[in-house]
Chain A
Amino acid sequence: MYDGSSVRAAYDGISAWLGQTTPEDRRLKAREAEVLFRRIGITFAVYNEGGDPERLIPFDIIPRILDAAAWALLERGLAQRVTALNAFLLDAYNGGEITRAGRIPTSLIVGNPGFRPEMQGFRPPAGAYTHVSGIDIVRTAPDRFYVLEDNCRTPSGVSYMLENREAMLRLFPDLIAAHRIAPISRYPEELLETLRDAAPPACQGNPVIALLTPGQYNSAYYEHSFLADEMGIELVEGADLLVDGDVVFMRTTQGPRRVDVLYRRLDDEFLDPLAFRSDSMLGVPGLFRAYRAGSITLANAVGTGIADDKGIYPFVPEMIRFYLGEEPILCNVPTWRCAEADDRAYVLEHLGELVVKETRGSGGYGMLVGPCSTKEERALFASKLRARPCDYIAQPTLALSTCPTFVESGIAPRHVDLRPFVLFGSTVRIVAGGLTRVALREGSLVVNSSQGGGTKDTWVLEA
Chain B
Amino acid sequence: MLARTADSLFWLARYMERAENVARILQVACRMASMSRSIGNGSNEWLSTLVAAGCEDDFAAVHGDAEPSARAALHYLARDPSNPSSICSCFETARRNARAVRTALTVDMWEALNETWIGARSFGERDFEPDRVAVFLDWVKHRSLLFHGAYANTMLRNDAYYFTQLGTFIERADNTARILDVKYHVLLPAADPVGGALDYYQWQSILRSVSALRSYHWIYRETLKPWHLAEMLILRPEMPRSLRSCYAQITRYLGLVAETYDNRRGECHRLAGEIDARLRVGRIEDVFQCGLHEFLTEIIDDTAVLGQNIAEFYLVS
B115, A236: Cβ atoms closer than 8 Å: no
Docked pose: A250 CA to B4 CA in angstroms: 10
Q: Which residue of A lies closest to B4 (CB)?
A: A240
Report B-chain residues with C-beta under 8 Å of the C-beta of A445: none
Q: Which of A38, A41, A226, A253 contacts B315 (CB 8 A)?
A: A253
Is A239 in contact with chain B by the CB < 8 A criterion? yes
B103, A229: Cβ atoms closer than 8 Å: yes
Q: Chain B nearest CB: distance from A214 CB in Å? A: 12
B114, A253: Cβ atoms closer than 8 Å: no
Q: A39-B114, A234-B2 are in contact. Are A253 and B102 (CB under 8 A)?
A: no
B317, A39: Cβ atoms closer than 8 Å: no
Is B259 in contact with chain A by the CB < 8 A criterion? no
Report B-chain residues with C-beta under 8 Å of the C-beta of A205: none
Report B-chain residues with C-beta under 8 Å of the C-beta of A183: none
Report A-chain residues with C-beta under 8 Å of the C-beta of B58: none
Is A254 in contact with chain B by the CB < 8 A criterion? yes
Is A251 in contact with chain B by the CB < 8 A criterion? yes
Is A20 in contact with chain B by the CB < 8 A criterion? no
Number of A interface residues in the complex (CB < 8 A): 24
Q: Which residue of A lies closest to B100 (CB)?
A: A216
Among B51-100, those with CB < 8 Å from A are 96, 99-100
Is A252 in contact with chain B by the CB < 8 A criterion? yes
Q: Which residue of B lies closest to A213 (CB)?
A: B100
Q: Which residue of A lies closest to B117 (CB)?
A: A41
Residue in B3, B101, B111, B262 whose Cβ sees the most chain A Cβ within 10 Å: B3
Q: Chain A nearest CB: distance from B79 CB in Å? A: 19
Q: Chain B nearest CB: distance from A119 CB in Å? A: 29
Is B295 in contact with chain A by the CB < 8 A criterion? no
A240, B118: Cβ atoms closer than 8 Å: no
Report A-chain residues with C-beta under 8 Å of the C-beta of B96: 216
Is B110 in contact with chain A by the CB < 8 A criterion? yes
Q: Which residue of A lies closest to B262 (CB)?
A: A254
Report B-chain residues with C-beta under 8 Å of the C-beta of A225: 99, 102-103
Docked pose: A254 CA to B103 CA in angstroms: 19
Is B243 in contact with chain A by the CB < 8 A criterion? no
Is A228 in contact with chain B by the CB < 8 A criterion? yes
Report A-chain residues with C-beta under 8 Å of the C-beta of B3: 240, 251-253
Is B39 in contact with chain A by the CB < 8 A criterion? no
Is B246 in contact with chain A by the CB < 8 A criterion? no
Is B6 in contact with chain A by the CB < 8 A criterion? yes
Residue in A228, A239, A250, A253 whose Cβ sees the most chain B Cβ within 10 Å: A253
Is B261 in contact with chain A by the CB < 8 A criterion? yes
Among B18-75, those with CB < 8 Å from A are none
Q: Which residue of A lies closest to B315 (CB)?
A: A253
Q: Which residue of B lies closest to A229 (CB)?
A: B103
B2, A39: Cβ atoms closer than 8 Å: no
Among A45-94, those with CB < 8 Å from B are none
Is B201 in contact with chain A by the CB < 8 A criterion? no
Docked pose: A239 CA to B100 CA in angstroms: 13
B100, A253: Cβ atoms closer than 8 Å: no
Docked pose: A235 CA to B2 CA in angstroms: 9
Q: A251-B317, A253-B159, A253-B261 are in contact. Are A41 and B110 (CB under 8 A)?
A: yes
Is A255 in contact with chain B by the CB < 8 A criterion? yes
B317, A255: Cβ atoms closer than 8 Å: yes
Is B200 in contact with chain A by the CB < 8 A criterion? no
Q: Chain B nearest CB: distance from A191 CB in Å? A: 15
Docked pose: A251 CA to B6 CA in angstroms: 11
Interface code B247-280, partner A: CB below 8 Å = 1, 0 otherwise? 0000000000100011010000000000000000
Among B153-183, those with CB < 8 Å from A are 159, 163
A41, B103: Cβ atoms closer than 8 Å: no
Report B-chain residues with C-beta under 8 Å of the C-beta of A226: 102
Interface code B290-317, partner A: CB below 8 Å = 1, 0 otherwise? 0000000000000000000000001111
Docked pose: A216 CA to B12 CA in angstroms: 15
Report A-chain residues with C-beta under 8 Å of the C-beta of B191: none
Docked pose: A39 CA to B113 CA in angstroms: 10
Is B197 in contact with chain A by the CB < 8 A criterion? no
Is B1 in contact with chain A by the CB < 8 A criterion? yes
A252, B2: Cβ atoms closer than 8 Å: yes
B99, A41: Cβ atoms closer than 8 Å: yes
Docked pose: A41 CA to B96 CA in angstroms: 12
Docked pose: A239 CA to B118 CA in angstroms: 29
Docked pose: A239 CA to B7 CA in angstroms: 13
Report A-chain residues with C-beta under 8 Å of the C-beta of B102: 41, 225-226, 229, 235
Is A215 in contact with chain B by the CB < 8 A criterion? yes
B103, A236: Cβ atoms closer than 8 Å: no
Among A244-301, those with CB < 8 Å from B are 250-256
B111, A39: Cβ atoms closer than 8 Å: yes
Q: Which of A39, A221, A252 contacts B115 (CB 8 A)?
A: A39
Q: Which residue of B lies closest to A38 (CB)?
A: B118
Report B-chain residues with C-beta under 8 Å of the C-beta of A309: none
B6, A253: Cβ atoms closer than 8 Å: yes
Report B-chain residues with C-beta under 8 Å of the C-beta of A240: 2-4
Q: Chain B nearest CB: distance from A323 CB in Å? A: 38
B103, A235: Cβ atoms closer than 8 Å: yes
A237, B103: Cβ atoms closer than 8 Å: no
Q: Chain B nearest CB: distance from A31 CB in Å? A: 15
Q: Chain B nearest CB: distance from A443 CB in Å? A: 35
Interface code A209-242, partner B: CB below 8 Å = 1, 0 otherwise? 0000001100001000110110000111101100
Q: A38-B118, A215-B100, A216-B99 are in contact. Are A252 and B110 (CB under 8 A)?
A: no
Residue in A38, A216, A236, A255 whose Cβ sees the most chain B Cβ within 10 Å: A216
Docked pose: A254 CA to B96 CA in angstroms: 24
B4, A237: Cβ atoms closer than 8 Å: yes
Report A-chain residues with C-beta under 8 Å of the C-beta of B115: 39
Interface code B1-15, partner A: CB below 8 Å = 1, 0 otherwise? 111111000000000
A252, B317: Cβ atoms closer than 8 Å: yes
Docked pose: A225 CA to B5 CA in angstroms: 12
Report B-chain residues with C-beta under 8 Å of the C-beta of A39: 111, 114-115, 118
Q: Which residue of A lies closest to B115 (CB)?
A: A39
Residue in B118, B257, B317 whose Cβ sees the most chain A Cβ within 10 Å: B317
Subset of 7 A-B contacts with CB under 8 Å: A225-B102, A234-B1, A234-B5, A240-B4, A251-B3, A251-B316, A253-B6
7 interchain residue pairs of minimum CB distance: A225-B102, A229-B103, A251-B3, A251-B317, A253-B314, A228-B103, A253-B6
Besides A226-B102, A254-B262, 5 other CB < 8 A contacts?
Answer: A41-B110, A229-B102, A235-B101, A235-B102, A240-B3
